[in-house]
Structure 1
């Protein structure tokens, strides 16, 4: 039985080093663990003060737990390094009936392993803090319920004050009265209380000067509660570089477009001369007949058709030269290719023959202006290679189905149906040493002043953006072949809605304003023949004065955009301020100032592109007066 074991045997079996002290701190009893610790026998330490026997000093320690326990009348302890080991030294006092210290029980427990673990934990914590403080990002943790910050790294501490007064993060960090926008809808825990996925978003700071990439997730803190860990990385440099790259690319694309326009100039001049010849010639013949009291509608029809061709050509030039963002949409390449070759033919010398085989009307997703740019670039490069000795330019367009093995020859392509465009020449070819560099920006073999070196790089970028690929093969002295693949999205021609031939009529009163007298007279005649009552002015200021006198006298206002003194948008704004319900139509030949934002802001009902055609004008007027919003004509 345990009660029958001798007291000394139990005392000596304890691994902790124990000794009993008298009120004067002299050792009166110790166990074998204490003897082993001090490397001596009990007889040699009994009767000696503890500081002498244990610590080897001639006086009591300043922080002696015996002295503290006598004062506090309870157990006192401290940590002591002894013989290269750490011990927890505890002293429990025992008192007699009069409350005087009768003895002390002095226990030394080896806690070296705990000290090492604590040291390792401190070192680990310090290492972690050092890493977090060295990261050039905002890192902090907040309580998931109160949103009060409980940790911040150095980068965050440098931004905010030390005294946060237990305020939620949005008030403590950003001086707001409510949670930040990107945090309001954060769901960091699901319905079962489990953490959701990492939430990532981009946002600018309140000043609008820096971009940050925010990461939020729920993590379990040291005390077991869930907290929100937030990491925000400054990505301003990347965003600004990206913005600069887009701007540079836009400038380069525009420069390359202008280079292509220069090549087109000869073809455009040729076409315009033909158009003007038809207009002038048939107008003279029609005037001769009119002077003799005769009428020849065929001559007038020729003038109208020539005018339509001129309008389409001007629209092409303006659209091609306009500095706008590309807009990919379903298009057919076939008509774009035919029109480009038609304009190109007039600008090429007669020594260069053009052969075309355009057989496919499939639809691809692309920007038509950019596709026109690619075609012109490849064709002008081909003509440049043949300008000295002449040759043959071959252009083909057809559908081709690529197998997986065939598609692997072109980076980024997969098996499928593609529109294949081939531009081949019989020129001098490309040196094999230059073949791999021809798509590099600014690389050119042309003489100084003959090219920017951006044409093929831009063309390749356009094709890749459409999900396609460009291939090239060349033999010096025999010619070069460029092959373009564009993924097909549908087969056949898109459906085009034809305009109704009949032009609707009306009897409303219209105020028509254009500073060009012939155009003002033209608008008046067109609309009067459709039944409308017309008041026409060539001065926007006089037109405004007239409207101010009788704002309810008119049912519609049509105004030119570019006019001296007061532009069309300014006139529309003044008129709508006087009478917000009156519909306004703006006519324009070409103006960068006319934007969708301006139209919506002013409340403009329709926008008509010059030159005015009676059918388009009549239909737009009728739709606006009937309360409809016609499709934009520009």
Structure 2
């Protein structure tokens, strides 16, 4: 029995030794620094992590309770409080064991640790030792320092950027802003979060729509006006860029008020310069135009005087009248050319097929050119229609052919081509003035003398001509450019000195079948009618001419010189009047006001507007925009008679 007890005791002692070995290994390899201190403040033992952190174990003669340096840092008090039974944990602190006398400089390093001390009791509950654990926070603290440094650099950059930067939440509320944003908005930086950006802009609904579109689609840039708290108004450009952080979005602001004002000043100065140059150029034009008009007036006045005096020795009255008529037509054509150059023509565009006009003009164009100049046509089949004034397009063709003729002093070839063409985005990017899409292309090329780059760049300038003095007004190609641009088209010229010139005209394509075009040939027999027409025209001579034409066609004509006079005249014969013919711009009452008043009295009354104004006055009255019948001055008897009949016959 006694022998069994010895075996049991031996086994139990071995088990205790095993446990002690396990605990020693756990202590030595623990991931935290571990040291045990006796009541005298001497370090009894320490583990491997302690050695890594602090470089060495203090020697037996060293006491932490006698180290004045550590006492000043509060470590002595911690040890004593733990010997009194407390468990104490410190915040993270930086500690460099090289500052402690017992650690050699080569062994230590500066570390960030947190320290916990607690008592170790014996079986009787008495405190024999104090344990201290040290958790390494060095990498964590260094990372935090790097983050803080990055944050400081970001804030410095944030504050120094000249553009305004805002951080906004999901609902578009300003969360933070830099000084530049505060200055743009007229706020203090601290006040940004107390204001709503939607409340500062003049068009909050538009800004809100932009914000919602940004959230749905991504980056967005636009402009708006804001009213600062001090009442001043600024033009700003804003750009919603991207998500800055979860729930936060980045917006950039730029004050473009001065930039816009400067741009307006530049445009104003440029316009003044253009006007100055134009006025200067008018002097060059005046001689040529006055010369042409004086020649025409000589013919008109001369033959008129001979007719009035009845002293025409060789010509019949009909021949004299024909000369007067032709001179008037030439004057009207010159006026049309001047208006087209200034883009002031009152165009009446229709769906038109360019091939038909080219074929119709072919014989006339061949007569226009000399016999030593050949014309070749390459017209595309199935050419799409375009929206253009046919008469103005004929003017374009004539001017370009005359230009080709002058470029071929020794004869040569003029090539006329048409084609359907689709311009892609790449072409759009290299030709800023033209948009990608479907076009009808007209190309007129010659193999003549060509032009140098300086001349090519100025070819469409008003009054610019490369001809000798007195041989041209400089309006030909300017007129072409004006008509093409006013028709929504584009024109480009390609040329090389000695190798010819090519003009390319792009007109927006109309898909679908071409509508039947009205005949434009002269009418020998005027259409007649018996309806009653109210003619309102403030110019007596024009009114007399129109009345004479209408009466010769069988119409009963009531005439008035003004709107109020026409109102009074209409009151007495309201039911009889079928058509109102009125000038658009008149003193006292405009033609549109008069028509509106009369149609209120008689809703079935038809209206034909007439005007000779050359600016945008007619367009401001929405005459052409509404598709209302319109006749431009000057007009011939056949044009007036046909237009009146068309209006009356239209349901």
Tell me if TM exceeds 0.5: yes
In the alignment, which of 527, 531, 534 is matched to residue 507 of structure 1?
Answer: 531
2:633 pairs with 1:610: yes
| Aligned mates of 1:312, 1:229 — CA distance in 2 | 61
**Corresponding residue number in structure 2 for 1:59:** 72
Deviation by residue 1:313-365 (Cα, 9 ceiling, x = unmatched): 432332223458999997859979999xx99x99xxxxx99956364667898
| Aligned mates of 1:57, 1:608 — CA distance in 2 | 108
Distance 1:484 1:318, change over 3 A: closer
**Corresponding residue number in structure 2 for 1:186:** 213
* 1:43-442 aligned within 5 A: 43-44=59-60, 47-49=63-65, 52=68, 56-61=69-74, 75-82=89-96, 85-91=110-116, 106-144=132-170, 146-158=171-183, 159=185, 160-161=187-188, 162-163=190-191, 169-171=197-199, 174=201, 178=205, 180=207, 182-183=209-210, 186=213, 188-189=215-216, 198-206=218-226, 210=235, 212=237, 214-217=239-242, 219=243, 221=245, 225=246, 227-232=248-253, 237=259, 255=278, 265=289, 268-269=292-293, 272=296, 276=300, 280=304, 310-322=331-343, 332=354, 355=373, 357=375, 359=377, 392=410, 396-399=414-417, 420-422=443-445, 435=452, 437-439=454-456
In the alignment, which of 592, 595, 612 is matched to residue 589 of structure 1?
Answer: 612
* 1:19-58 aligned within 5 A: 19=35, 30-35=46-51, 37-44=53-60, 47-49=63-65, 52=68, 56-58=69-71
Is the CA contact 1:513–1:539 (under 8 Å) kept in the aligned structure 2? yes
Deviation by residue 1:107-165 (Cα, 9 ceiling, x = unmatched): 43333322332233333344445555555444434333x33334434432432553455
In the alignment, which of 501, 506, 514 is matched to residue 482 of structure 1?
Answer: 501
1:574: how far off? 9.0
1:572: how far off? 3.7
1:186: how far off? 1.0
| Aligned mates of 1:283, 1:67 — CA distance in 2 | 139
Q: How much is the aligned-residue C-alpha RMSD, in angstroms? A: 6.8
Distance 1:460 1:305, change over 3 A: closer
| Aligned mates of 2:39, 2:618 — CA distance in 1 | 99
TM-score, with length taken from structure 1: 0.62
| Aligned mates of 1:370, 1:243 — CA distance in 2 | 37
Q: Give the paired residue count.
A: 571
Is the CA contact 2:584–2:618 (under 8 Å) kept in the aligned structure 1? no
- Mind listing any 5+ residue stretches in structure 2 that lack a counterpart? 1-14, 98-108, 122-126, 228-232, 420-429, 432-438
- Mind listing any 5+ residue stretches in structure 1 that lack a counterpart? 190-196, 290-294, 347-351, 402-410, 629-634
Is the CA contact 2:537–2:543 (under 8 Å) kept in the aligned structure 1? yes
Distance 1:597 1:588, change over 3 A: closer
Deviation by residue 1:442-501 (Cα, 9 ceiling, x = unmatched): 9999899999999999999999997876444446xxxx74344557989xx996322697
| Aligned mates of 1:449, 1:51 — CA distance in 2 | 110
Deviation by residue 1:414-444 (Cα, 9 ceiling, x = unmatched): xx99755345667xx98xxxx5555456999
TM-score, with length taken from structure 2: 0.61
| Aligned mates of 1:310, 1:522 — CA distance in 2 | 18
Deviation by residue 1:224-249 (Cα, 9 ceiling, x = unmatched): x3544434556774997599679959
Secondary structure of the residue that 1:611 maps to in structure 2? coil
| Aligned mates of 2:473, 2:110 — CA distance in 1 | 78
1:504: how far off? 6.8
Is the CA contact 1:66–1:104 (under 8 Å) kept in the aligned structure 2? yes
Is the CA contact 1:93–1:102 (under 8 Å) kept in the aligned structure 2? no
**Corresponding residue number in structure 2 for 1:194:** none
| Aligned mates of 1:51, 1:454 — CA distance in 2 | 105
Distance 1:309 1:335, change over 3 A: farther
Distance 1:279 1:74, change over 3 A: farther
1:609: how far off? 1.2
1:276: how far off? 3.9
| Aligned mates of 2:623, 2:131 — CA distance in 1 | 92
Distance 1:211 1:481, change over 3 A: farther
| Aligned mates of 1:135, 1:579 — CA distance in 2 | 68
Secondary structure of the residue that 1:188 maps to in structure 2? helix
| Aligned mates of 1:230, 1:320 — CA distance in 2 | 47
| Aligned mates of 2:624, 2:117 — CA distance in 1 | 87
Is the CA contact 1:142–1:151 (under 8 Å) kept in the aligned structure 2? yes
2:36 pairs with 1:14: no
Is the CA contact 1:260–1:373 (under 8 Å) kept in the aligned structure 2? no
